[in-house]
Amino acid sequence: MPAEEKARALTEGRRAAGASTIAAALLLVSKWIAGVLSGSIALLADALHSLSDVATGAAVWFGLRLSMKEPTESFPYGYYKAETLASLLVSLVIVLSGVQILLESVRRIIAPSPVSLTTLALLVAGSSSLLSYMLARYKSRVGKKINSQALMSEGKHSMVDVYLSLIVLAGILTSSLGILWIEPLAGLLIGAVVVRFGLGSGRDAALVLMDACLKPEHIQEITAAASSVQGVVGVHNVKIRRSGPYIFGDLHLELDEGTPFEKTHKISDEVEQRIKERIVEVDSITIHIEPRSRGELRVAIPVSEDYGLRSTPSHHFAEAPYFLMVDLDRKRFEVGVWQRTLEPSLSGEKASPPQSFWWRRRLIDS
């Protein structure tokens, strides 16, 4: 990806993360105030969930902002993993918040209490559902556009917020009807979802920081793209790792032994281009060139007569009437005498232009 395009993508991602953080902060304040005033544990649990959204959005914003810094001598591969490191730290906050929600919800199930100011609580829960849906669509769209794993994950998280807010809405409504146990049960469900999300996000972030290959199908795509380039006879030892929104990798290319340096460089450039066309998030790919032996060898010895292996070598290569040919490979050892002739035969082979003679071959026991 060109540097200018990469900078634009990171800027757009940072703006999306900043906008979602502000929106989540507004939801947090409104849910917390309404939860405290109404006494709704489900709404307070949803407020703590919004707190995790604020922390996650801030971390993504900070990570993307840091990713825009130019590589330095100390960080030659850039600061892309700052986004992943921030996601890991936020995951810990999310898990702790979820545990707190679970404990409080269990306490409310044991000792239930009715929700007051029902209209305010319902209004906040309904508005939260609508705003969360809009944020989910926005973050998912921008995340896919710039290939940011963190933003796409945030989009899915916001979609979960929609369903959770609807559950809170249902819990508050049933509490107003005198069914008190459903509302703290909704808080318990939200707490479980928060803990599960935090653990999943933390696991993914830890795997990225450990350079794990999260998408093995990318290796198959890279192998196929490299193999499609003319001149490549083999591809192996393909490795990839994710660093923030981008992928770094390396592979070994096998070329025919004796391939000219200029052609080798051209093949390498074309392989890199095709890989980046197929997987747009690839930032850099390191290519190691390995020569592949042809696996066979032909030795031609000019001889003066056809006496097989007892033939006398000729001192005139270009005018020798016979050639003793020895063909070697891993599975075959073959010796034959080739005779220069002006007449074609069934076992003959035409010489290359401008010569006009033919070769007649006779195999001998080796």
Q: Give 151-200 pLDDT, tens digit per residue.
A: 777 777 778 778 878 888 888 888 888 888 887 888 788 788 878 878 88
The CATH number fitting domain 217-292, selected from 1.10.10.10, 1.10.3720.10, 3.40.50.300, 3.30.70.1350: 3.30.70.1350
Whether the per-residue pLDDT at 329 is higher than 90: the answer is no
pLDDT attached to residue 159:
80
Amino acid 335: pLDDT = 64
CA–CA gap between residue 147 and residue 13 (Å, rounded)? 9
Buried b (16+ CB within 10 A) or exposed e, 160-170: bbbebbbbbbe
Domain residue extents for the chain:
3-209, 217-292, 296-364
Distance CA 263, CA 266 (A): 5
pLDDT of residue 150: 65
Which of the 8 DSSP states describes residue 194? H
Looking at residue 271, its pLDDT comes to 94
Percent of the chain with pLDDT over 90: 12
| Main-chain dihedrals φ then ψ at residue 341, nearest 5 degrees | -150, 155
- Per-residue pLDDT tens over the stretch 260-316: 888 999 999 999 999 998 887 888 899 999 887 666 677 788 888 877 777 888 887
User: Could you tell me how far CA 257 lies from the centroid of its own chain?
Assistant: 32
Q: Under CATH, which number does the domain 3-209 receive?
A: 1.20.1510.10
Regarding beta strands 333-341 and 322-329, do their DSSP bridges make them parallel or antiparallel, or are they unpaired? antiparallel
CA distance 183 to 179: 8
Q: What is the pLDDT of residue 289?
A: 92
- CA-to-CA distance for 308 and 365, rounded, in angstroms? 9
Mean per-residue pLDDT, 64-75:
75
Rounded to an integer, the average pLDDT of 28-57 is 80
The confidence band for 333, taking pLDDT boundaries of 50, 70 and 90, is low
Cis peptide upstream of residue 112 (ω within 30 degrees of 0): no
Q: What pLDDT, on a 0 to 100 scale, did the predictor assign at position 116?
A: 79
Q: Region 43-55: what's the mean pLDDT?
A: 77
Closest CA to 146 of 60, 239, 86: 60
CA atoms of 244 and 218, how far apart (whole Å): 16
Strands 246-256 and 232-243: antiparallel
344 vs 94, residue with greater confidence: 94
Bridge-based pairing state of the strands 348-350 and 322-329: unpaired
pLDDT band at 337 (very low <50, low <70, confident <90, very high): low
pLDDT band at 347 (very low <50, low <70, confident <90, very high): very low
- Write out the E strands in 100-183: none
Contact 172, 122 (CB under 8 A): yes
